[in-house]
Amino acid sequence: MAAAAALARLEQKQPRARGPTSQESIRNQVRKELRAEATVSGNPEALGSNMAPEPKEEGSAHLVVPGVYFTCPLMGAILRKDQRDASIREAILMHFSTDPVAASIMKIHTFNKDRDRVKLGVDTIAKYLDNIHLHPQEEKYRKIKVQNKVFQERIHCLEGTHEFFEAIGFQKVLLPIPDQEGPEEFYVLSEAALAQPESLERHKEQLLSAEPVRATLARQRRVFRPSPLASQFDLPADFFNLTAEEIKREQWLRSEAVERLSVLRTKAMREREEQREMRKYTYTLLRVRLPDGCLLQGTFYARERVAALYGFVREALQNDWLPFELLASGGQKLSEDENLAFNECGLVPSALLTFSWDAAVLEDIRAASTQPDISILKPELLSAIEKL
């Protein structure tokens, strides 16, 4: 109840995002509990909004994103960077009341950051369950000694494993040890769980195939009318790994030393500098100027591939089946099939690109004595168009 109340308060502060999520049943249950809590608190409307936070003015007319935001896959809430981990943790903990097996599996894969250690622990648990499945009459396989070295080093150290064992039917008991004075702690599989081997097998497959629950980057898609300010960007601090002061100082030092060092730098030195440049930015804000002058804007990871931008633009088009091209500054064509990241194309921390229909398609349209539809974007996007 405390977790539900805390999550309800979070939801009241942060509106929710549109669209389906990957764990639909979990999300629906979380929604149900949040709605009940909001009703009790006297504010049932708090869960009704799906809109992303409105950008806030921060001393600039061109600051068109308030920061970097994420969508929680379990409940659809729009979250700031500093909220995402706590929100996902609370949503997973809430789910223990309805599906403890699924919740414990999500906890194992999400709360433990060392992926190699998680894989080792998960594989070891699967081995335990395989032994039970293959030797159901062997009592020794139904007992796991908690102080066993392998268990301690591979499983006990992982958050969520205790809940998983309890959820699938193990109980912690003290058992006597031959030739030992005191008893030892064991996980012992219950008779009821042993009688359902297909359930143990299903839980094992769930554990092996699960992935961490991660918040997804919110694109914060916006559409602007034609504007002479299209190429002007004023980005919030979230887009940079360096502080504003560090960036200014680095730019000053570079401009002062560039002429002096240009003749001295080797190819290896230049490559190292380019690598540092690419790692400097985590996110990028991209605008696409359409043939009618309108601007389509979205937020991306700096290491996402160009194909992600093509998909983003295609989702906004009224005729999404028509081929098109995207051009960077200087007329450089970005190929959808080329496996390049935005930071490798120089499209960070922001960039303005130009959209154009495929030339061959336009030629075919003109040959057919027809004109392409002047309405490029979907009507619902045009209805929400803004002034930059």
* Run of H or E residues at 119: helix 115-134
The confidence band for 352, taking pLDDT boundaries of 50, 70 and 90, is very high
**Percentage of residues of the chain with pLDDT beyond 90:** 53
More confident residue, 36 or 87: 87
Most confidently predicted of 36-45, 62-71, 93-102: 93-102
**What is the C-alpha to C-alpha distance for residues 312 and 26, in angstroms, rounded to an integer?**
27
- Cα 93–chain centre separation: 19
Phi-psi region of 147 (alpha: psi -120 to 50; beta: other; left: phi over 0): alpha
* Size of the chain in residues: 388
pLDDT band at residue 149 using 50, 70 and 90 as cut-offs: very high
Q: Are strands 170-175 and 184-189 parallel, antiparallel or unpaired?
A: antiparallel
Q: Are strands 78-80 and 170-175 parallel, antiparallel or unpaired?
A: unpaired
Does residue 140 carry a pLDDT above 70? yes
pLDDT band at 269 (very low <50, low <70, confident <90, very high): low
In the predicted structure, residue 303 carries a pLDDT above the cut 50: yes
Pairing of strands 350-357, 283-289: parallel
Flag whether pLDDT at 281 surpasses 60.
Answer: yes
Comparing 85-94, 192-201, 254-263, the range with the smallest average pLDDT is: 254-263
Highest mean pLDDT among 190-204, 234-248, 356-370: 190-204
Give CA–CA dist 204/128, Å, rounded: 10
Q: Residue 246 above 60 pLDDT?
A: no
Q: Which of 96-105, 227-236, 365-374 has the lowest mean pLDDT?
A: 365-374
Asked if 71 and 22 touch (Cβ cutoff 8 Å), the reply is no
Handedness of CA 331, 277, 220, 218 (dihedral sign): positive
* Predicted pLDDT of residue 7: 55
Q: Is the pLDDT of residue 87 over 90?
A: yes
Amino acid type, 222? R
Q: What is the DSSP letter of 52?
A: P
- Quote the pLDDT of residue 20: 45
Q: What confidence tens digit (pLDDT) does each residue in 207-233 have?
A: 999 999 999 999 999 999 999 999 988
Question: What is the value of pTM for the model shown?
Answer: 0.69
What is the band of 60 on the pLDDT scale with cuts at 50, 70, 90?
very low
- Least-confidence region, from 74-78, 221-225, 248-252: 248-252
For residue 80, pLDDT beyond 50: yes
* Mean model confidence pLDDT for the chain: 81
Backbone angles phi, psi at 144, to 5 degrees: -125, 120
The pLDDT of residue 312: 97
Residue carrying structure tokens 């008893």: 183
Alpha-carbon separation of residue 279 from 142, 197, 267 (angstroms): 50, 49, 19
Give the model confidence (pLDDT) of 10-20 as tens digits: 555 444 444 44
Cβ(150)–Cβ(124) below 8 Å: yes
